[in-house]
Structure 1
């Protein structure tokens, strides 16, 4: 670390011979410096304000003034420079006390040979501390800026979602009314209405997923008691609007031994996303589309396994299934956020998610979440 060429030293000392001796030691030690000597409180205060020293060397005891008082003045004035005690014999207890107060070092006048290296070491240490403080200040400013951007992004997403979902609801309602008004025999109109309604639902789902992801990143964990089976029933009811939802048979095996505590909002999003995929990627060629759900809950964790008999996932697609916007099937009409959101939400709850699949046979999703005590 490069120090400034000439060091300005403020020396609090009332013995001229000691001043001369210290000056000689500094010159022999190769310290390029200028010195301002003071020997009273008033001169010391004036010196730190006007001379603006790089280092302070202070004798301990002067008439009506001492090094402890001088150091306190430096702290009060926020003078961030090394303060080194250069004094006669002192007790070990006094030396320890000085270091605890923040005095950088102490040098005995009977052994001044270490003074030049002590000055350089103290200057380097203060420079490192100054750099650290500056870095911390910059990081704090960056943090505040990031928080500001995140807050603005939150507002933007919620505003956009509100602005988009309102008209979507209106369009959906109008489509239903138009279908009622359409002639019974006009099958083309009915089909067009169904296609438009499906598009509206897909867009609404994507917007909802974006809002969920935003909330997951911002909201703190809210722990409460959860009935997992009840939450699954609620999710199936919420997804009843999806085409084919009524064709999927759901069976639940609940082996919970104890109550489960977690974040109900996040767990509901996880279950919604998984069951939504079960419905969307069911196999119409099979006699019965079904999903079996096993729930195991212990004092340590809950394990929820979803196993369906749908289309499955091809082997080459498996490494990418948790990627944002990745769609593993050509039949997918979503944004590719489902399993990405599942993984993000599960990890936010400090859990794990595992997916296994055999194409054209089945897919198994296992969620493991810690049982968090309130």
Structure 2
């Protein structure tokens, strides 16, 4: 109850903090952002030419910092702009990386103050998808961006999005839809009082797209009207290239009306301008227009010369959407001259390029357009319905307020009751956990007491042996006898060290937390090399069918494999002793086999082999904890250990450990170590 009151009391403070944050984020106005983003886009051009992705992102980061250095943007805005700069610079040569970065960044832009950043990311993704022929995604992103720009009052930016949609729809063959969106773009440009030269050129582009769309619909009167609008803008801007392109498009109208001479002259203008400004695709299209004129005059073979010249220019530019027109036209020409094999080959290339560039059928883009228009109509109807409901609410405000208060009181009552139940449940869970922890501590303490009790006896035996051997050394008569005694002292001390190591393992087994990525191949190779020095007479064989990397504790691996390998060495075959380790990576776990050719284990002892303080051979010199600790370590890794043994032939221990990380599974040659 007290916590709820504290929360209610802190609400005004949180509101002030949130308001302050929002104000800081929103202090950079949409108009300012639009100006800054234009500077950034221009400055990123050198970064896009770099060949290595890391170099591209490093250059983009520096450029973005320079553009934003005068503005103290909030951290979230700065991060989003850096990601935008990376994606923009990468889009030239690494489109997939750029789209992945945009997808990762977009969820951060859902708050209203970050709508501009969201629109920019959507526009950039639309541009990348347009280039890669993912037209449906490109159009959808462009519509979302346009709606956001309109909401922010950035009409010129919205006009760019509508123009991009129009061009995509035109290339897909949806000419009427292209006209609607291009008209929306021209309307926004005409209403703007401060157009940059770039905006004016895009306005001109929109007029040209409308003209081409009307021409495709064979409405030549309206096509000429919008071509004239575009020509007026081109002359006003003194833009010779656009003037030449529109002149060439108007030549197609003259061809449709049978005025071949006028059409030829206008195509000539387009060719000269295209070659002058290195717009080879535009010049190539104009040459194909002249080839069509020659076809209409019945001059088929001279027309072929113009088609060949057009292809020589157009192939220099990697624009498959233009190549489609060429292969369609040349296929028709081959049919006219009855060269059907060549016609068929050209038509196949036309189909191939058409399928590779369209991405999605025009019908899908048309359905998308209708869907978006339907959603907008639904949104308007909802807004109108909401307005009507708001008017009706005025007469019932008192009643609704009373009902609302009752509902709030009821919700508060149920909330308090639910909180009480939750707290009670949490207390029960906490008590259960405390009880479980207490039982575990009691178990661990009992186990530790047992370890200490047994250890005191196990350690005392080698100490007494060392004391006795020390006395014998004092009574030795010659040097060889003293050296033999010293060697036994060393062996006894080494055995005692191993025994203490096992006890330390038992004590620290539940404390190992050094989790890291471990290459099992490198780990086992290193371990066998280390143990081979103390067991030079044993031959170690390591076979790994698949490289495996696990995320676990190296200390736990030491407990498992040091104990197993030391046991294999202790109970080894006196003739040609061998220890074979095999690592196999399964679909969900890794299996490691430790196999020796030693004395083996009597079958009657296999069921209790993992019990603590068990010794079943006169060779046993340790504490009897090794296999017990091994089993505990395997279980701590959520694994399983089994043993198979044949008396006097050897034993095999199999350990299965669940995979933590999926890695490359290229086969590796077996390794043999001594």
Shorter chain as denominator, the TM-score bin is 0.5 to 0.7
Runs (5+) with no aligned partner, structure 2: 6-402, 663-674
Cross-structure match for 2:322: none
Counterpart check, 1:213 vs 2:482: no
TM-score of the pair, normalised by structure 1: 0.54
Cross-structure match for 2:636: 348
- What is the distance in 2 between the residues matched to 1:307 and 1:360? 13
1:4-83 aligned at under 5 Å gives the runs: none
Q: Is the 8 A contact 1:260 1:302 kept in 2?
A: no
- What is the distance in 1 between the residues matched to 2:477 and 2:506? 39
Which of 296, 301, 321 is the matching residue for 2:609?
A: 321
Which of 101, 114, 133 is the matching residue for 2:415?
A: 101
Which of 557, 560, 568 is the matching residue for 1:270?
A: 560
- What is the distance in 2 between the residues matched to 1:369 and 1:131? 36
Cross-structure match for 1:226: 519
Cross-structure match for 1:84: none
- How far off is 1:310 after superposition? 0.3
Which of 572, 575, 579 is the matching residue for 1:282?
A: 572
Cross-structure match for 2:645: 357
- How far off is 1:327 after superposition? 1.3
Secondary structure of residue in 1 paired with 2:645: strand
- How far off is 1:282 after superposition? 0.9
Q: Is the 8 A contact 1:240 1:246 kept in 2?
A: yes
Q: Is the 8 A contact 1:213 1:341 kept in 2?
A: yes
Cross-structure match for 2:585: 297
Which of 250, 256, 264 is the matching residue for 2:546?
A: 256
- How far off is 1:276 after superposition? 0.2
- What is the distance in 2 between the residues matched to 1:140 and 1:96? 36
- How far off is 1:231 after superposition? 2.5
Runs (5+) with no aligned partner, structure 1: 1-71, 77-89, 105-124
- How far off is 1:266 after superposition? 1.6
The one of the two structures with greater contact order (alpha-carbon pairs below 8 A, sep at least 6) is 1
- What is the distance in 2 between the residues matched to 1:201 and 1:365? 25
Find runs of 4+ consecutive structure 1 residues off by over 4 angstroms: 72-76, 129-151, 181-184
262-271 or 303-312: which moved more? 262-271
- What is the distance in 2 between the residues matched to 1:97 and 1:271? 60
CA separation of 1:150/1:195 partners in 2, compared to 1, >3 Å: closer, same or farther? Answer: same
Which of 246, 256, 262 is the matching residue for 2:536?
A: 246
CA separation of 1:75/1:259 partners in 2, compared to 1, >3 Å: closer, same or farther? Answer: closer
Q: Is the 8 A contact 1:305 1:365 kept in 2?
A: yes
Cross-structure match for 2:368: none
Cross-structure match for 2:494: 201
Higher helix fraction: Structure 1 or Structure 2? 2
Counterpart check, 1:310 vs 2:603: no
- What is the distance in 2 between the residues matched to 1:370 and 1:340? 20
1:96-245 aligned at under 5 Å gives the runs: 96-103=410-417, 133=427, 136=430, 140=434, 143=437, 183-186=478-481, 189-220=482-513, 222-228=515-521, 230-238=523-531, 240-241=533-534, 245=535
Q: Is the 8 A contact 1:262 1:371 kept in 2?
A: no
- How far off is 1:342 after superposition? 1.1
- What is the distance in 2 between the residues matched to 1:73 and 1:201? 64
CA separation of 1:304/1:135 partners in 2, compared to 1, >3 Å: closer, same or farther? Answer: closer
Q: Is the 8 A contact 1:252 1:293 kept in 2?
A: yes
- What is the distance in 2 between the residues matched to 1:316 and 1:145? 33
Listed one character per residue, the Cα deviations across residues 18-46 of structure 1 (whole Å, up to 9, x for unaligned) are xxxxxxxxxxxxxxxxxxxxxxxxxxxxx
Q: Is the 8 A contact 1:235 1:271 kept in 2?
A: no
CA separation of 1:358/1:373 partners in 2, compared to 1, >3 Å: closer, same or farther? Answer: same
- How far off is 1:268 after superposition? 2.4
- What is the distance in 2 between the residues matched to 1:299 and 1:142? 34
Q: Is the 8 A contact 2:580 2:594 kept in 1?
A: yes
Q: Is the 8 A contact 2:506 2:629 kept in 1?
A: yes
- What is the distance in 2 between the residues matched to 1:306 and 1:138? 41
RMSD value over aligned CA atoms? 4.5
Q: Is the 8 A contact 1:231 1:268 kept in 2?
A: no
CA separation of 1:185/1:201 partners in 2, compared to 1, >3 Å: closer, same or farther? Answer: closer
- How far off is 1:209 after superposition? 1.5
Q: Is the 8 A contact 2:584 2:591 kept in 1?
A: yes
- How far off is 1:251 after superposition? 1.4
CA separation of 1:328/1:240 partners in 2, compared to 1, >3 Å: closer, same or farther? Answer: farther
- What is the distance in 1 between the residues matched to 2:593 and 2:2? 68
Listed one character per residue, the Cα deviations across residues 230-280 of structure 1 (whole Å, up to 9, x for unaligned) are 434424524643xxx222111122212444443222212211111101110
Q: Is the 8 A contact 2:532 2:538 kept in 1?
A: no
- What is the distance in 2 between the residues matched to 1:247 and 1:73? 74
Q: Is the 8 A contact 2:519 2:548 kept in 1?
A: no
- How far off is 1:227 after superposition? 3.7
- What is the distance in 2 between the residues matched to 1:131 and 1:329? 54
- How far off is 1:291 after superposition? 1.6
- What is the distance in 2 between the residues matched to 1:272 and 1:183? 39
- What is the distance in 2 between the residues matched to 1:225 and 1:73? 49
- What is the distance in 2 between the residues matched to 1:345 and 1:101? 46
Secondary structure of residue in 1 paired with 2:506: helix
